[in-house]
Structure 1
Amino acid sequence: MQTSALLPFAPVSGKQLLPFANIVQQGELDRLWIAQSSFVDPHSALAYAAGAGAQIPVGTSVTLMPLSHPFQAALQARSLAALTGSPVVAGFGTGPEMFVQALRGERYASPLTAVREYATIVRRLLAGQSVKFSGEYYSMAGLLPALDTPAVELGLGVLRPRMAELAGEVADVAITWLTPPSYLAEVVIPALARGAARAARPRPRIAAVVHVSLDAAGRDHAQVVLATSRPHLEAPHYADMLRRAGVDVDRHDLRKTAAQLIDNGTAAVGGVADVLRTISAYREAGVEEVVLSTMGIQVVDGTQASLNALDTITHAQRTLGD
């Protein structure tokens, strides 16, 4: 299983990525992921890091579809592979309904159809194919000029069974967020397998973003987990997924909900041994890549605390590996 890290903030300069990129460059982690941002475009930030010498595997989790036509999305992803000289996971998702409406003028009547069309076009372009596709939401006629680059994997954000089945049909990577290990094993992986079987292809691997709160003087783990998960706990689609997973989402007491995420092993919380046990639980559930998120630590205690937590975890993993 791979262990990677999510950049724990929305950068406002390329230099801010470099300490986190260096952890990957040094071989302590397998990939640096970056989330969508309206401050500095994530592809631009990763390109800056590549120009500064960070020739590392990277991933986007997740780029919001309404921001780019599939041709531009494929071009950006392949450009990162060319600039970093390393594999890229290009992750995509629809974004919140209000965001979609604000950019498109109307919501997707069928988000699943929109994702299928978008992913189909991107996948064919990345494969070097000439595309002639006319869909309900996205159309394309043309191709990307040939360019030899490291591999670009197509990722989709996955929460619930229907999207998981679609990812099984068209994606290389299913990217999850706030998904308990038991839910992944019992719901997401079987749905991915069903979709993959329909398309007669291998099941996509899972990259699960796992929020971390490592013991430190005065650190309140529930506060840390809530700091990074509050917007998602307030979102209906995340609340629905968590209820399916047995988490009682109380919008009037989100701290209580955050405590449940700690108790059921969704968040990796406690001493370093506790965190490593949670990572192992995700591996045992079938996850191929755990993406450590120190976003809550970042919000509460800042960048150096995030870096210290990642250093502690990677050192412990390396020691156990040795």
Structure 2
Amino acid sequence: MKYSVLLPVVPARPEPAVMFANLVQWTAAERLWQGQSLVLDPHHLAQWLAGIGIRVPMGFGVSLMPMRSPYQAAFEARSVALATGHSVVAGFGPGPVSFQSALLGRPYARPLRAAREYATIVRALVSGEDAMVEGEYFSVAARLLPRPAPQVEVGLGVLRPKMAALAGEVADRAITWLLPAGYLAETLVPAMRGADRKLEQPVRTTAIVPLAVARPDRDVTALVQATCGNHLQAPHYQDALRKAGMAVSDQGDAQDAGRVVDAGAFLYGTVEQIHERLAEFGAAGVDEVVLNTIGVAQVHGPKAAAQDLLQILGSASGVSASDVGLT
């Protein structure tokens, strides 16, 4: 199982990303991931990093489908692959119903159908094929101009079994967020593997896992709420967490934060304890864990988040704090 790093800040200027991109450049981390930002576009940030000479593999998980057409999504993902010279994982999801309504005028009546069409179109385009889809939500008859480029994998954000099965059919990656290893092992990974696979290669699983190293000045409840407080109040996340065995309320309060920690959806402890819990994801069938230190960055600052990541990734390569801009 590989480790990657999630950019734990939402910058208004690109410079704060340098420290975390350096972690990928100088440690064993596989990839720099970014979630959906409504401030500075993640693809633009990746291009800026490449422009100043920091060219690392990128992951986008997940970009919200209402933000861009599938053709634009494919074009942007391949542009990042061309600029960085590295592979890209482009993950997509429908987003909350309220977000769909705000941008599209109404939500997707059949979000699984919309995601199927979107992923199918993007994957055809980034694979250099003609995308010939006349769908219920997206219709495209086009191709990208042919250019040699590193691979772009197409992923789907997965919280529940039906989307897991869809990823198992049509996506290169299934990308999970805020879900414990046991739920992946017992429910989601079997749903992916049991799907009627349309692609030659098996689907791979990326789990974005929130965590923090335990320190005397830290309050784990505050860290959980800073990391995923909004998610805990979202109906689709509440449903997924309940399916994973957590009796969360509708409030996203301190008690819910405690339940998330108890279930192993947020990892908190010593570096050794975190590694033990991360190994459970590998045993569940996860190919890549993305280390998510958003809560640490928000409560204690970006340097504290980078320090946690550096400790978890280890110092076997001899990388120092000064190498990644921590001093």
**Is the TM-score greater than 0.5?**
yes
2:43 is aligned to: 43
CA contact (8 A) 1:213 1:225 kept: no
2:323 maps to 1:302: no
Counterpart residue number, 2:157: 157
Are the aligned partners of 2:233 and 2:251 in contact in 1 as well (CA < 8 Å)? no
Report what 2:323 is aligned to.
none
Match of 2:204 in 1: 205
Query: Equivalent residue for 1:67?
Result: 67
| Counterpart residue number, 1:287 | 286
Question: How far apart are the structure 1 equivalents of 2:80 and 2:127?
Answer: 16
Distance 1:12 1:253 in 2: 27
State the shift of 1:308 in Å: 0.8
Q: In the TM superposition, what is the alpha-carbon distance from 1:134 to its structure 2 partner?
A: 1.0
Distance verdict in 2 for CA 1:70–1:179, change over 3 Å: same
Secondary structure of the 1:55 match is coil
Alignment of 1:121-270 (within 5 A): 121-195=121-195, 197-199=196-198, 201-252=200-251, 254-270=253-269
What corresponds to 1:313 in structure 2? 312
Within 1, Cα distance between the matches of 2:49 and 2:24?
A: 12
Partner amino acid, structure 2, of 1:214: V
Cα deviation, 1:229-281, whole Å, max 9, x if unaligned, reads 11111111111111111101023462112212222222121111111111111
Change in Cα spacing, 1:98 to 1:253, as seen in structure 2 (3 Å) is: closer
Q: SS state of the match for residue 77, structure 2?
A: helix
**CA–CA separation in structure 2 for the residues paired with 1:198 and 1:173:** 12
Cα distance in structure 2, aligned partners of 1:190 and 1:98: 30
Instruction: Please report how far the alpha carbon of residue 221 of structure 1 lies from its aligned counterpart in structure 2 after TM superposition.
Output: 1.3
C-alpha contact 2:170 2:197 (8 A) present in aligned 1: no
Counterpart Cα distance in 1 of 2:171 and 2:224: 29
TM-score, scaled to structure 1: 0.95
Matched residue of 2:22: which SS? helix
Consecutive unaligned residues of structure 2, counting only runs of 5 or more, are 319-327
Using the alignment, how far apart are the partners of 2:141 and 2:251 within structure 1? 49
The 1-side partners of 2:107 and 2:316 are apart by 44
CA contact (8 A) 2:232 2:251 kept: no
What CA distance in whole angstroms lies between the structure 1 residues aligned with 2:250 and 2:317?
A: 40
Q: In structure 2, how many angstroms separate the alpha carbons of the residues matched to 1:318 and 1:4?
A: 16
State the Cα distance separating 1:317 from its structure 2 match.
7.1
Superposed CA RMSD: 1.4
Q: Contact 1:169–1:201 at 8 Å: present in 2 too?
A: no
- Tell me: higher relative CO, structure 1 or 2? Use CA pairs within 8 A at least 6 residues apart: 2
Q: Is the 8 A contact 1:184 1:285 kept in 2?
A: yes
Structure 1, unaligned runs of 5 or more? none
Corresponding letter in the other structure for 2:225:
L
Return the TM-score normalized by structure 2.
0.94
C-alpha distance after superposition, 1:59-91 (max 9, x if no partner): 001111111111110000000000000010001
Give the share of equivalent positions with the same residue, in percent.
Answer: 45
